[in-house]
Amino acid sequence: MVFSSTTFLFLFLPLLLLVYFCRRSMTWRNGVLLVFSLLFYAWGEPVWVLGMVAVTLINYYLALKIYGSRKRRLRKLLLWVGVGVSVSLLVYFKYSAFLINTVYGLMGIEKAAAERHLPIGISFYTFQVLTYTVDVYRNKAKPQKSPFLALLYISCFPQLIAGPIVQYTDVAQALGHRRTTPTAFYRGMQRFVLGLGKKVLLANLCGKMLEATALAGGDASLSFLGAWFCAALYAMQLYFDFSAYSDMAIGLGRVLGFTYKENFNYPYLSASVTEFWRRWHISLSSFFRDYVYIPLGGNRQGTARTVVNLAVVWGLTGLWHGASWNFLLWGLYYFALLVLERFVLKEALSRVPKALRHVFTLLLVLIGWVIFYYTDFTAMGEHLGALFGLGRGLADKKLLLVLKQYTVLPLVMALCCLPIQGRLKAFFSSGSQTRALWGEILGTLALTLILLLSVLFLMGQTYNPFIYFRF
């Protein structure tokens, strides 16, 4: 089940809210939320919901033992058992075929292992399980006494499938004690509708435009301008799609009494690659910083060790997105850029006008998305070559047809990547009470229109999953 479906919007969500709010008891509300969350996941994974439950309960038991033991070796052993169980399940489903086929290739064996079915959201909930066990081991958090609340933390449906990755310490208190207010409900639903509009009206439209370009099917006629246009469209599609899910998750969390941290902060405004990764998929960057980079030593052990630590982090970041060499290459591409920014070009870049740094960073990010897009290295090479005009024309027929059909829509979508909403909100809230009231009225009307248009578009569409479901 996905948020942008009529089943969720008109059946699952209304029924959940009706049952959830019919009683004030937190025990009742947690029980309802747990049942609906498991149902939400089982809707798409009727078998592997048991795997998620099993991993959670194993780590719940191990965390209790870790917290109750004063023996350092035993605590560490229990930690590694928990980490091993969690990671081994992820490796089995996501990477085993990739690793086997890599070995086959090195040995010259033509036989190929079949890809395994990847349980939805396994990359996200595995990381959340890890934060729980590791934080208990570090004494940053006390273990959850109730196995049902531990399971609720992992399975809570707003952030279960595609994040944001919620660390246990962020919601530990709210699991047992949280307040839901009419204002929070209203603001949460506003955020949800905004995310729905991003997904249905923007991300899906970007996808339709991409299907009409020479990019679809790996057409060799992709031109210089066509290559950059497709890269920009894909960049916007990824941003709208993933930030839409985060908006919807954050909004639903607020409706239910949880506060989830922001996951995106207008990343395409960045003036450096370092800044881009402070704005893009913030919860993933935070996870690798807190649970990989810092434990490895971070930047505390000299330049050489820092570079090695960064290589490990970005190699893992790339592979986290998928079991394919292009994802590893994409991660190492950012590793190289970050090392250059940090250790080689730092002083030189500081003298470059900020506007030029914005443009240069955006171009580097677009090149990165081309690497991210292709699992076929030949097709990737052709697109990268087209970006630099190698043997390609200036424009192609499909590009011109798309621009003729959609006219100013690509420009409108580019503007939607900017913090226009925040500027409007600041404008209306900084004046008189009358201006603030008009801001509320216009904002509500705009969101109502977005909701109606989104529903109309959904009525004419079939299954439209979020891109990050496959990661």
Catalytic residues: 321
Give the residue from 73, 123, 116 showing the smallest Cα distance to 98. Answer: 116
Helices 377-387 and 325-339 pack at an angle, to 10 degrees, of 40
- 247 touches 203 (CB < 8 A): no
Q: What angle do CA 14, 12, 185 make, to 5 degrees?
A: 40
How many whole angstroms separate alpha carbon 145 and alpha carbon 123?
Answer: 25
Which amino acid is present at 327? Answer: F
Q: What is the CA radius of gyration of the chain?
A: 23
SS3 string, the chain, reads CCCCCHHHHHHHHHHHHHHHCCCCCHHHHHHHHHHHHHHHHHHHCCCCHHHHHHHHHHHHHHHHHHHHCCCHHHHHHHHHHHHHHHHHHHHHHHCHHHHHHHHHHHHCCCCCCCCCCCCCCHHHHHHHHHHHHHHHHCCCCCCCCCHHHHHHHHHCHHHHCCCCCCCHHHHHHHHHCCCCCHHHHHHHHHHHHHHHHHHHHHHHHHHHHHHCCCCCCCCCCCCHHHHHHHHHHHHHHHHHHHHHHHHHHHHHHHHHCCCCCCCCCCHHHCCCHHHHHHHCCHHHHHHHHHHHHHHHCCCCCCHHHHHHHHHHHHHHHHHHCCCCHHHHHHHHHHHHHHHHHHHHCHHHHHCCCHHHHHHHHHHHHHHHHHHHHCCCHHHHHHHHHHHCCCCCCCCCHHHHHHHHHHCCHHHHHHHCCCCHHHHHHHHHHCCCHHHHHHHHHHHHHHHHHHHHHHHHHHHCCCCCCCHHHHC
For residue 347, CA distances in Å to 304, 310, 340, 351, 418 come to 19, 20, 11, 7, 28
